[in-house]
Amino acid sequence: MPIPVIDFSKLNGEERAATMAQIANGCEEWGFFQLVNHGIPLDLLRRVEKVSSTCYKVEREQEFFENSTPVKQLNELVERKSGEKLENIDWEDVFLLSDDYEWPQKTPGFKETMIEYRSELKKLAEKLMEVMDENLGIPKGYIKKVLNGKDGEKAFFGTKVSHYPPCPHPEMVNGLRAHTDAGGIILLFQDDEVDGLEILKDGKWIDVQPVPNSIVINTGDQIEVLSNGRYKSVWHRVNAKLNGTRRSIASFYNPSYNATIAPATELVEKENEEVNQLGYPKFVFGDYMSVYTEQKFLPKEPRFQAVRAVNSKP
Ligand SMILES: O=C(O)CCC(=O)C(=O)O
Ligand SMILES: [Fe+2]
């Protein structure tokens, strides 16, 4: 059962209504879908692949295999022959980009290419938010406004460049442990050859099948709260693989730390407003992140409980 693939260009033509419905279905039933014809130039995608892979090869790969914690821990476990699995670590190399971080230095064209890419993806994220506003029946611009917070705050737009190197014992470690994403909207440009990303759907892990030139979209815990549970954040994980290095580039459109997150009033039934105290909480995103950092790989419900507790302190 492949996850939905949606032609985003059809949003501007006769098939707009059908496309809106496909996106609504992707958000409500899947939490993950793939966009093709999304408007990001293909030559830009090719350049992004190239600079990311080069950067990994030149600046990261040797360090991963010679010095990284997952490699050390896996070697120790193999020596112990205990048959255990590494539960607290990921077989992944990551570097994070945002407007304010230091960028990799040694790969020609990296910074220029990724700045261009991030600006395109941010626009795509904002278009998607408007589609979600419309599908949810909340005012146009609502999601963007909430994520951007008050008082000139800005949403956080980050990009995580990941490589999952080949692993000699993929049964003993995850590429990335199962989790739901903390934030708002996530846009993933994944490897079109090496697979490994899976989502939990109706109790089964299913592949997010690589589709060349597509952008995989998913929604995080904050959209679940804001949509009052209509758009659930979905568990996903990356399997380690014996062969091939998998590249994935995830961009996160997250709330600013001061943004207040709560179910949109339009989506809370009036008579349920009081009952809703037991539903999704209202909180400040920074508080949620303090909890998430500790509990990323655990179920989200206790995280919602924990921020409710913070929030209800006198
Ligand atoms: O690498 C991937 O495909 C997924 C990455 C991911 O889920 C994350 O960074 O939260
Ligand atoms: Fe994720």
Digit-coded pLDDT (tens) for 215-272:
999 999 999 999 999 999 999 999 999 999 999 999 999 999 999 999 999 999 866 6
Tokens coding 76: 């120790």
Main-chain dihedrals φ then ψ at residue 261, nearest 5 degrees? -115, 130
State the closest ligand 1 atom to the C-alpha of 216, by its place in the atom list counted from 1: 3
Mutate which of 34, 93, 197, 234 for ligand 1? The one with the most ligand atoms within 8 Å of its CB, which is 197
Mean pLDDT within 194-219 = 97
**314 Cα: distance to centroid of ligand 2 (angstroms):** 34
CA distances from 272 to 55, 275, 277, 280 (A): 52, 5, 9, 12
- Whole-prediction pTM: 0.95
Cα–Cα distances in angstroms (integers) from residue 88 to residues 9, 65, 174, 220, in the given order: 41, 18, 9, 22
| pLDDT band, very low/low/confident/very high, at 153 (cuts 50, 70, 90) | confident
**DSSP string of 43-65, one letter each residue:** HHHHHHHHHHHHHHHHHTHHHHH
Residue nearest to atom 2 of ligand 1 (CA): 248
**Protein residue whose Cα sits closest to atom 10 of ligand 1:** 181
CA of 235 to the centre of ligand 2 (A): 8
**Residue of the nearest CA to atom 5 in ligand 1?**
250
Whether residue 251 contacts residue 121, with contact meaning beta carbons closer than 8 Å, is answered with yes
- In the predicted structure, residue 112 carries a pLDDT above the cut 60: yes
Q: What is the pLDDT of residue 269?
A: 80
pLDDT of the residue at 277 = 60
CA of residue 190 to ligand 1 center, whole Å: 9
pLDDT tens digits for range 52-88: 999 999 999 999 999 999 999 999 999 988 888 999 9
Inform me whether the pLDDT recorded for 276 exceeds 60: no
- Distance, in Å, from the CA atom of 246 to the CA atom of 164, rounded to the nearest integer, reads 5
The 8 Å CB, 24+ separation contacts for 306-311 are: 307/281, 307/283, 308/281, 308/283, 310/283, 311/281, 311/282, 311/283, 311/284, 311/287
Q: What is the pLDDT of residue 270?
A: 67
- How far apart (Å, rounded) are the C-alpha atoms in residues 242 and 288? 36
Domains of the chain with bracketed CATH? 5-270 (2.60.120.330)
Residue 72 Cα to ligand 2 middle (Å):
24
Q: Of 91, 94, 176, which is best to mutate to test ligand 1, by the most ligand atoms within 8 angstroms of its C-beta?
A: 176
Confidence of residue 28 (pLDDT cuts 50, 70, 90): very high
User: Lowest-confidence range among 72-86, 158-172, 178-192, 201-215?
Assistant: 72-86
**Phi and psi of 164, rounded to 5°?**
-110, 100
Q: What is the whole-number distance in angstroms between the Cα of residue 86 and the centre of ligand 2? A: 19
230/37 Cα distance (integer angstroms): 26
Pocket of ligand 1 (CB under 6 A): 160, 162, 176, 181, 188, 190, 197, 236, 238, 248, 250
